[in-house]
Amino acid sequence: MSIRGEADKTVDRGIRAYNAVVRVLRRALRMRLPHAADADIEDIRAKAAVGSDISSHLEPLFVEGLKRHPRVIVELGVRGGESTWVFERLARRCGADLVSVDIVDCGKLSQYARWHFVQEDDVAFAGRFPRWCREAGVEPSIDVLFVDTSHKYNHTLAEINAWFPHLSARAVVMFHDTNIGTIFRRRDWTLGRGWDNDRGVVRALETVLGISIAEGRSYEGDAGGWHITHDPVCNGLTVLRRTPTS
Protein backbone atom coordinates (compact mmCIF):
# COMPACT_ATOMS: atom_id res chain seq x y z
CA MET A 1 0.00 0.00 0.00
CA SER A 2 1.21 3.53 -0.79
CA ILE A 3 2.25 6.02 1.88
CA ARG A 4 -0.81 8.12 1.01
CA GLY A 5 -3.08 5.10 1.40
CA GLU A 6 -1.65 4.34 4.84
CA ALA A 7 -2.06 7.99 5.83
CA ASP A 8 -5.71 7.94 4.75
CA LYS A 9 -6.33 4.81 6.79
CA THR A 10 -4.69 6.42 9.81
CA VAL A 11 -6.88 9.52 9.45
CA ASP A 12 -10.01 7.37 9.12
CA ARG A 13 -9.09 5.42 12.27
CA GLY A 14 -8.49 8.67 14.11
CA ILE A 15 -11.87 10.05 13.05
CA ARG A 16 -13.68 6.88 14.14
CA ALA A 17 -11.96 6.96 17.53
CA TYR A 18 -12.70 10.66 18.01
CA ASN A 19 -16.36 10.20 17.04
CA ALA A 20 -16.74 7.31 19.45
CA VAL A 21 -15.47 9.49 22.29
CA VAL A 22 -17.76 12.38 21.32
CA ARG A 23 -20.81 10.12 21.25
CA VAL A 24 -19.97 8.63 24.66
CA LEU A 25 -19.56 12.12 26.12
CA ARG A 26 -22.83 13.31 24.60
CA ARG A 27 -24.67 10.35 26.12
CA ALA A 28 -22.99 10.89 29.47
CA LEU A 29 -23.92 14.58 29.45
CA ARG A 30 -27.38 13.78 28.05
CA MET A 31 -26.81 16.22 25.23
CA ARG A 32 -29.93 15.70 23.16
CA LEU A 33 -32.14 18.02 21.18
CA PRO A 34 -35.40 18.90 22.94
CA HIS A 35 -38.44 16.94 21.86
CA ALA A 36 -40.10 18.40 18.77
CA ALA A 37 -43.88 18.57 18.71
CA ASP A 38 -43.73 17.97 14.95
CA ALA A 39 -43.63 14.23 14.16
CA ASP A 40 -41.82 14.78 10.84
CA ILE A 41 -39.06 16.75 12.56
CA GLU A 42 -38.68 14.03 15.19
CA ASP A 43 -38.26 11.45 12.40
CA ILE A 44 -35.76 13.69 10.61
CA ARG A 45 -33.73 14.18 13.80
CA ALA A 46 -33.62 10.41 14.31
CA LYS A 47 -32.33 9.92 10.78
CA ALA A 48 -29.76 12.72 11.18
CA ALA A 49 -28.38 11.08 14.32
CA VAL A 50 -26.77 8.38 12.17
CA GLY A 51 -24.30 10.96 10.80
CA SER A 52 -23.46 11.59 7.14
CA ASP A 53 -22.04 14.35 4.96
CA ILE A 54 -25.43 16.12 4.99
CA SER A 55 -27.07 14.90 8.20
CA SER A 56 -26.76 18.22 10.05
CA HIS A 57 -28.79 19.92 7.33
CA LEU A 58 -31.74 17.52 7.04
CA GLU A 59 -33.88 19.43 9.52
CA PRO A 60 -33.06 22.86 8.02
CA LEU A 61 -34.00 21.56 4.55
CA PHE A 62 -37.42 20.60 5.87
CA VAL A 63 -37.98 23.74 7.94
CA GLU A 64 -36.88 26.15 5.19
CA GLY A 65 -39.08 24.37 2.69
CA LEU A 66 -42.07 24.30 5.01
CA LYS A 67 -41.98 28.10 5.33
CA ARG A 68 -42.81 28.32 1.60
CA HIS A 69 -45.65 25.76 1.70
CA PRO A 70 -44.40 24.72 -1.75
CA ARG A 71 -46.39 23.50 -4.70
CA VAL A 72 -43.28 22.34 -6.58
CA ILE A 73 -39.97 21.09 -5.12
CA VAL A 74 -37.00 20.34 -7.38
CA GLU A 75 -34.01 18.39 -6.09
CA LEU A 76 -30.85 18.32 -8.20
CA GLY A 77 -28.73 15.37 -7.11
CA VAL A 78 -30.19 12.31 -5.37
CA ARG A 79 -27.43 9.78 -4.65
CA GLY A 80 -28.56 7.65 -1.67
CA GLY A 81 -31.77 9.62 -1.20
CA GLU A 82 -31.22 11.33 2.18
CA SER A 83 -32.49 14.68 0.94
CA THR A 84 -35.18 12.92 -1.11
CA TRP A 85 -36.43 11.30 2.10
CA VAL A 86 -36.75 14.75 3.70
CA PHE A 87 -38.34 16.42 0.68
CA GLU A 88 -40.83 13.57 0.35
CA ARG A 89 -42.07 14.41 3.85
CA LEU A 90 -42.24 18.08 2.94
CA ALA A 91 -44.13 17.27 -0.26
CA ARG A 92 -46.63 15.04 1.57
CA ARG A 93 -47.23 17.73 4.17
CA CYS A 94 -47.88 20.41 1.57
CA GLY A 95 -49.44 18.33 -1.20
CA ALA A 96 -46.58 19.27 -3.53
CA ASP A 97 -44.94 17.69 -6.53
CA LEU A 98 -41.37 16.57 -5.92
CA VAL A 99 -39.07 16.38 -8.95
CA SER A 100 -35.70 14.67 -8.37
CA VAL A 101 -32.97 14.73 -11.02
CA ASP A 102 -29.82 12.65 -11.21
CA ILE A 103 -27.62 11.19 -13.95
CA VAL A 104 -27.72 7.84 -12.11
CA ASP A 105 -30.88 5.75 -11.89
CA CYS A 106 -32.38 6.47 -8.46
CA GLY A 107 -35.94 5.76 -9.51
CA LYS A 108 -36.81 3.32 -6.73
CA LEU A 109 -36.05 5.52 -3.73
CA SER A 110 -39.54 6.89 -3.13
CA GLN A 111 -43.11 5.59 -3.35
CA TYR A 112 -44.71 9.03 -3.00
CA ALA A 113 -47.44 9.31 -5.64
CA ARG A 114 -46.36 12.78 -6.75
CA TRP A 115 -42.65 12.01 -6.92
CA HIS A 116 -41.13 12.35 -10.38
CA PHE A 117 -37.65 11.01 -11.01
CA VAL A 118 -35.76 12.21 -14.08
CA GLN A 119 -32.53 10.46 -15.04
CA GLU A 120 -30.73 13.14 -17.00
CA ASP A 121 -28.08 15.82 -16.76
CA ASP A 122 -29.81 18.48 -14.70
CA VAL A 123 -28.67 21.42 -16.84
CA ALA A 124 -29.97 19.76 -19.99
CA PHE A 125 -33.26 18.94 -18.26
CA ALA A 126 -33.70 22.58 -17.22
CA GLY A 127 -33.88 23.52 -20.90
CA ARG A 128 -36.97 21.39 -21.41
CA PHE A 129 -38.44 21.79 -17.91
CA PRO A 130 -41.50 23.89 -18.92
CA ARG A 131 -42.48 21.41 -21.65
CA TRP A 132 -41.89 18.46 -19.32
CA CYS A 133 -44.10 20.14 -16.71
CA ARG A 134 -46.95 20.56 -19.20
CA GLU A 135 -46.71 16.90 -20.14
CA ALA A 136 -46.46 15.74 -16.51
CA GLY A 137 -49.17 18.04 -15.18
CA VAL A 138 -46.73 19.87 -12.90
CA GLU A 139 -46.76 23.64 -12.39
CA PRO A 140 -43.59 25.03 -14.06
CA SER A 141 -42.75 27.33 -11.15
CA ILE A 142 -40.34 26.12 -8.47
CA ASP A 143 -40.86 27.11 -4.83
CA VAL A 144 -38.03 25.01 -3.34
CA LEU A 145 -34.84 24.26 -5.29
CA PHE A 146 -32.08 22.12 -3.78
CA VAL A 147 -28.69 21.83 -5.49
CA ASP A 148 -26.37 18.95 -4.53
CA THR A 149 -24.70 17.61 -7.67
CA SER A 150 -21.11 17.73 -8.92
CA HIS A 151 -19.97 20.56 -6.57
CA LYS A 152 -17.86 21.96 -9.41
CA TYR A 153 -17.64 25.67 -10.24
CA ASN A 154 -18.58 25.62 -13.92
CA HIS A 155 -21.39 23.13 -13.43
CA THR A 156 -22.84 25.12 -10.52
CA LEU A 157 -22.76 28.31 -12.61
CA ALA A 158 -24.57 26.49 -15.41
CA GLU A 159 -27.17 25.20 -12.93
CA ILE A 160 -27.84 28.69 -11.59
CA ASN A 161 -28.23 30.11 -15.09
CA ALA A 162 -30.44 27.22 -16.20
CA TRP A 163 -32.72 26.82 -13.18
CA PHE A 164 -33.16 30.28 -11.66
CA PRO A 165 -35.50 31.42 -14.50
CA HIS A 166 -37.91 28.68 -13.37
CA LEU A 167 -38.14 29.92 -9.77
CA SER A 168 -41.32 31.34 -8.30
CA ALA A 169 -41.51 34.81 -6.76
CA ARG A 170 -41.40 33.26 -3.26
CA ALA A 171 -38.68 30.69 -3.92
CA VAL A 172 -35.99 29.44 -1.60
CA VAL A 173 -32.81 27.89 -3.04
CA MET A 174 -30.49 25.72 -0.98
CA PHE A 175 -26.94 24.74 -1.98
CA HIS A 176 -25.13 21.91 -0.19
CA ASP A 177 -21.34 21.54 -0.11
CA THR A 178 -20.47 25.23 0.18
CA ASN A 179 -17.71 24.48 2.70
CA ILE A 180 -15.94 21.30 1.64
CA GLY A 181 -12.62 20.50 3.25
CA THR A 182 -10.49 17.46 3.95
CA ILE A 183 -12.36 16.92 7.22
CA PHE A 184 -15.78 18.34 8.09
CA ARG A 185 -17.58 18.79 11.40
CA ARG A 186 -21.21 17.94 12.03
CA ARG A 187 -23.42 19.94 14.37
CA ASP A 188 -23.05 17.22 17.03
CA TRP A 189 -19.24 17.73 16.87
CA THR A 190 -18.51 14.40 15.18
CA LEU A 191 -16.21 14.48 12.14
CA GLY A 192 -16.26 13.10 8.62
CA ARG A 193 -13.99 12.93 5.58
CA GLY A 194 -14.41 15.47 2.78
CA TRP A 195 -12.56 16.38 -0.40
CA ASP A 196 -11.20 19.44 -2.17
CA ASN A 197 -13.65 20.85 -4.74
CA ASP A 198 -11.65 24.09 -5.17
CA ARG A 199 -14.50 26.03 -3.49
CA GLY A 200 -16.61 25.19 -6.52
CA VAL A 201 -20.13 25.81 -5.22
CA VAL A 202 -19.45 28.79 -2.96
CA ARG A 203 -17.23 30.37 -5.62
CA ALA A 204 -20.07 30.11 -8.16
CA LEU A 205 -22.40 31.84 -5.70
CA GLU A 206 -19.83 34.57 -5.11
CA THR A 207 -19.58 35.12 -8.87
CA VAL A 208 -23.35 35.33 -9.39
CA LEU A 209 -24.14 37.40 -6.31
CA GLY A 210 -21.07 39.64 -6.36
CA ILE A 211 -20.19 38.93 -2.73
CA SER A 212 -17.44 37.23 -0.76
CA ILE A 213 -18.21 34.36 1.62
CA ALA A 214 -15.65 33.07 4.12
CA GLU A 215 -17.03 29.55 3.93
CA GLY A 216 -15.55 28.47 7.27
CA ARG A 217 -17.70 31.00 9.17
CA SER A 218 -21.41 31.73 9.42
CA TYR A 219 -22.61 34.43 7.05
CA GLU A 220 -25.77 36.49 6.59
CA GLY A 221 -26.38 39.28 4.12
CA ASP A 222 -28.38 40.56 1.15
CA ALA A 223 -27.35 40.65 -2.50
CA GLY A 224 -28.90 40.35 -5.92
CA GLY A 225 -32.48 40.27 -4.63
CA TRP A 226 -31.73 37.50 -2.14
CA HIS A 227 -31.32 37.22 1.60
CA ILE A 228 -28.39 34.84 2.06
CA THR A 229 -27.40 32.71 5.03
CA HIS A 230 -24.45 30.34 5.15
CA ASP A 231 -23.97 27.56 7.70
CA PRO A 232 -20.40 26.17 7.59
CA VAL A 233 -21.02 22.84 9.36
CA CYS A 234 -21.31 19.45 7.65
CA ASN A 235 -19.81 20.59 4.31
CA GLY A 236 -21.82 23.79 4.36
CA LEU A 237 -25.37 24.81 3.45
CA THR A 238 -26.04 28.16 1.83
CA VAL A 239 -29.66 29.32 1.60
CA LEU A 240 -31.02 32.02 -0.71
CA ARG A 241 -34.45 33.47 0.06
CA ARG A 242 -36.22 35.96 -2.18
CA THR A 243 -36.24 39.44 -0.63
CA PRO A 244 -39.60 41.30 -0.61
CA THR A 245 -38.46 43.77 -3.30
CA SER A 246 -37.04 41.14 -5.68
What separation in angstroms does the CA of 228 have from each of 27, 66, 74, 140, 204? 35, 18, 19, 24, 14
Angle of CA points 20, 23, 24, to nearest 5° = 85
Is 17 part of a structural domain of the chain? no
Contact 15, 183 (CB under 8 A): yes
pLDDT digits (tens, 9 = 90+) for 155-194: 999 999 999 999 999 999 999 999 999 999 999 999 999 9
Global pTM reads 0.94
Query: CATH number of the domain that 178 lies in?
Result: 3.40.50.150
pLDDT digits (tens, 9 = 90+) for 44-99: 999 999 999 999 999 999 999 999 999 999 999 999 999 999 999 999 999 999 99
Is 19 part of a structural domain of the chain? no
- How many other C-beta atoms can be found within 10 angstroms of the C-beta atom of residue 120? 14
Is 27 part of a structural domain of the chain? no
Is 20 part of a structural domain of the chain? no
State the residue range of the domain holding 65: 33-242
Q: Give the chain's length.
A: 246
Q: How many structural domains does the chain have?
A: 1
